[in-house]
Structures are given as C-alpha cells and as structure tokens.
Amino acid sequence: MKIEIVTIFPGFFSGPLDFGITRRAREAGLVEISIHDLREFTRDKHRTVDDRPFGGGEGMVLKPEPIFECIEKLNIAPREERAPAKQSVILLSAQGRRFSQSVATELAGLEQIALICGRYEGVDERVSMHLADRELSIGDYVLSGGEMGAAVIVEAVTRLIPGAVGNEASTRQESFTAHPELVGDGPSSTCVSGGLLDYPHFTRPADFRGMDVPEVLIQGNHEEIRRWRRRTALEKTLRNRPDLLDRTLLSKEDEKVVAEIMDHQH
C-alpha cells in the first residue's frame, strides 16, 4: 500500500513514522509512506503556500494550486475517474466525517491514499469540492494543522495491513472491531470485541503492591475466562461508551449480563 502525505511541515513526520509497527511495516515493504513538501509545488521565489481569504476575515488559507499540482504528480486519478476501491484523496479537516476503526479498515484495503494536511484557517474549499474524495476529522476539537491527524490515520491504517502486526488475531479482537459472525456464542468468542471496548488485560506479577489480578485469569478455565472477559468488556463499554452498545450485536448471554449490570447499578 502507498500512503502519500502532503504537508508544509515534512520534518514533522520524522519520529511518528519511525517507531514500532509503522517502522516495521515500512521496512518489510508492506507500506510505502512518502512525505511531500507542499512548498516544492510553488512557483514564486518566496514559495508561498497561503493567501488571504476572499471576503475578508481572520487568518490565511492554503492556496489550491500547489495542492492540486502535488496530487496530480502522484499518479492518482482525477476525482471523477478515481476507483474508490483503489485510491482515496483525503483532506484532514475538523469539519470532516469522524475517523473510526471502520474507516481505517476500509482505507487499509486500498492501494494508495493521499492525506492532505491543512494549516492556518484551513484549505481553499476547491480542494474539498474537486480534488479530495473525503474529508476526515480525528475528533471534535480544533488542531493547528492536519499533521497530527495524518499520523493518527497512518498508524491506525498500517496496523490493519495484513502482516503488519505479528499476531493478526490481536487486531481482530480489539476495541471497536465488529465481527458479528464471531460475537457471543460463536466458536472463537473467547475475547472478540464485536464492536465493544476491549476487556481489561493483566500481566505479572499476580500481586502488585496488594493489587491482585482477578483469580479467574490465574485458574486457567477457558470458559470462565471467556465469560469474565465478555462481562468486563460489557461493563467497561456501558460505563465509558454506552453509545457503542446500540451498534453491537449482542448474544442472549450478553443481554442477560447487561441486564444484570444495569440491575446492579440501580
């Protein structure tokens, strides 16, 4: 997979992309990440990438010409001819759709994505209207630039590329990952999140400063462990992200557990 990042701060990415799974995936040739300095696509001697907004108002806006020229150089099809299952041009924007695990999964299946990082007051709207095929936000807050968001998307997408994470099953079991066929009483339901938050994890020592690991995890009864993990995942989801329950396929056993937890709370 190819990931292109378009930015006025190329140096920002030496660091975030050089550690852990992202570094290993790059070294293994699973993902090729290229950083494109927007200033390289300017034509004036000051290498100007921004200008004042028409209509007046605060701040500066990234100009369209360098962004269009940069994307056009990357062998990416024009928007109207772009195959959505192969390529995507993404504008990072606080006004975009919320980035999520399911969007990450979709992007991980493409051949090439380009991430355009805005700055200042934002990006000339023609980039969103005619060049990008989607705008993505990484959350309901305003950052100073799209670089943090691009790094977040690169990491979330890269770990979903087959072979990037050593134990592939682990990415299928994580928080938010919906696999309805594996939920509840299915054969692999030991610890599949099924759209819930992940269950709690513990490691050695079993007794740390008087804080004990739950007994059930030490005893080694797989069915008991499965039930405990599912229950604690349901508890955590109810406590921290009850909205996720509406989107999760619950088994009869899950529904019973949720009812018990709710009873307990009242």
Other C-beta atoms closer than 10 Å to the C-beta of 166 total 8
Q: How far is the CB of 190 from ligand SAM (least distance, A)?
A: 35
Q: Kindly determine how many residues on this chain lie close enough to bind ligand SAM according to the rule CB under 6 A.
A: 20
- Can you tell me which of 30, 60, 74, 143 binds ligand SAM, judged by CB under 6 A? 143
Q: How far is the CB of 93 from ligand SAM (least distance, A)?
A: 5
Considering the complex, state which of residue 50 and residue 235 has its C-beta at the smaller distance from ligand SAM: 50
- Is residue 146 close enough to count as binding ligand SAM by CB under 6 A? yes
* Cis status of the peptide bond prior to 242, with omega within 30 of 0: no
Considering the complex, state which of residue 123 and residue 238 has its C-beta at the smaller distance from ligand SAM: 123
Residues constituting the chain: 266
C-beta of residue 194 within 8 angstroms of C-beta of residue 261:
no
Residue range at the interface with ligand SAM (CB under 6 A); choices 106-114, 145-153, 171-179, 234-242? 145-153
Residues 116-135 within binding reach of ligand SAM (CB under 6 A):
117-119, 121-123
Considering the complex, state which of residue 157 and residue 234 has its C-beta at the smaller distance from ligand SAM: 157
CA distance 92 to 118: 6
Closest CA to 63 of 40, 80, 38: 38
Residue range at the interface with ligand SAM (CB under 6 A); choices 124-132, 144-152, 187-195, 244-252? 144-152
- Is residue 97 close enough to count as binding ligand SAM by CB under 6 A? no
Burial level of 70, CB count in 10 A (0-12/13-18/19+)?
buried
Give the 3-state secondary structure of residue 224. Answer: helix
- Is residue 94 close enough to count as binding ligand SAM by CB under 6 A? yes
Give residue number: closest CB to ligand SAM: 118
Closest CA to 118 of 100, 138, 98: 138
CA distance 230 to 184: 8
- Can you tell me which of 4, 63, 104, 149 binds ligand SAM, judged by CB under 6 A? 149
DSSP state of 95: E
Which residues are near ligand SAM by CB under 6 A?
A: 92-95, 117-119, 121-123, 137-139, 141-146, 149
